[in-house]
Structure 1
Amino acid sequence: MAQTAGVKPMAIAGRVASERERCLGMTDAERAWRKQWLKDQVLASNEPVYVEEYWRERTNPIRRLYRKPLDVLFTKLMPVLGQERASNYRFIVGKLGMIAVGILSIQYYFKYNGNDWTKKGGWRVMTTKPMVLPGQPGFPFKSERCTDSDYAERGFKKATI
């Protein structure tokens, strides 16, 4: 959904946002309005304000749950590292942790859920024969599979049944 929900956006600065328009001439009311508008653009010393209840209402409980350990850790490290650096480190550690969990999950899946003769599912991982060109050692390439029954056996001959 568009940020303005289909309504054409309107600039609150008015016609005096452009320097060219201001040079054409401004009325006293426009000058007063522009002065107040520029004054309103200055943030207070405590901005931006972090409101815990507002953040809690806007975030998913599951997201809060998996973020909690790093939030607690980096809240304790914030006096040492500083707020900016602690939030940057928290972001990087969180992303690297998710990448590591993803890699370990993929490794686990391929290690324990391979496609062999006992299962119907799982990804079948096959290796291709190596490229051996004339003049290289091992040319012509001889397969270690001896008979036709060795092809597509999916680990049946290694079974201990």
Structure 2
Amino acid sequence: MAQTAGVKPMAIAGRVASERERCLGMTDVERAWRKQWLKDQVLSANEPVHVEEYWKERTNPIRRFYRKPLDVLFAKLTPVLGAERASICRYLTGKFALIGFAAVCARYYFMYNGNDWTKKGGWRTIRTKPMVLPGQPGFPYKSERCIDADYADRGFKKATI
């Protein structure tokens, strides 16, 4: 949803928001209005106010569920770290946990769902021939595959059946 919920935003500062406009001259009414407007921009010591019920109404229950463990942990760490540092650490911890989980899932997938002769699906990984230049040990490079039938076996010859 848009920040203004589809209503065109309106500048409440009026003509005196620009310094150039103020230098052109202000009436006493505009000067009093600007003074009051500047006073209204100062937040009290109690702001911003965190209203738990408002946050619950605006967030998805599933999101609240998966955020709960880190919220509880960093609520206890906030007095030690400070509010700003704790929020940064909480954000980074969540992101690194998601990246780590994705890495573990990818490792599991490639470990147990490879493309071999027993199944049609899976990612097929192929090793390229190593670069061996003249003068290096192993030049000229000879493949471990002896005959043409070795090139498409996809692990069939290693099977124990």
TM-score over 0.5 for the alignment? yes
Sequence identity percentage: 80
Structure 2 letter corresponding to 1:158: K
Matched, 1:102 2:102: yes
Does 95-104 or 75-84 show the bigger shift?
75-84
| Deviating 4+ runs (over 6 angstroms) | none
Secondary structure of 1:151's match? helix
Show the counterpart of 2:64: 64
Q: Deviations over 1:87-142 (max 9, x none)?
A: 22211211111111111111111111101111111100110011112222211111
Structure 1 unaligned spans of 5+: none
Aligned equivalent of 2:54: 54
Distance 1:81 1:6, change over 3 A: closer
* SS at 2:152 equivalent: coil
Following superposition, the deviation at residue 47 of structure 1 comes to 0.7
Amino acid at match of 2:154: R
**Unaligned ranges ≥5, structure 2:** none
The corresponding residue for 1:113 is 113
Paired AA for residue 148 in structure 1: D
For 1:33-48, list aligned pairs within 5 A: 33-48=33-48
The alignment's TM-score, normalised by the length of structure 2, stands at 0.92
Against the structure 1 CA distance between its residues 3 and 54, is the aligned structure 2 distance closer, same or farther, given a 3 Å change threshold? closer
Task: Give, in whole Å, the separation in 1 of the partners of 2:6 and 2:92.
Answer: 36
In terms of mean alpha carbon deviation, does 80-89 or 139-148 score higher?
80-89
- Aligned CA distance change for structure 1 residues 87 and 11 (closer, same or farther; 3 Å): same
The separation in 2 between residues aligned to 1:130 and 1:60, in whole angstroms, is 51
User: Residues 101, 46 of structure 1: CA spacing in aligned structure 2 closer, same or farther, 3 A cutoff?
Assistant: same
Q: CA deviation at 1:83?
A: 2.1
Aligned residues: 161
Aligned-pair RMSD on alpha carbons? 1.7
CA distance 1:99–1:123, change in 2 (3 Å): same
The equivalent residue for 2:88 is 88
1:24-65 CA-to-partner distances (Å, cap 9, x unmatched) read: 111111112111111110011111110111111111111111
Q: Output the TM-score relative to the length of structure 1.
A: 0.92
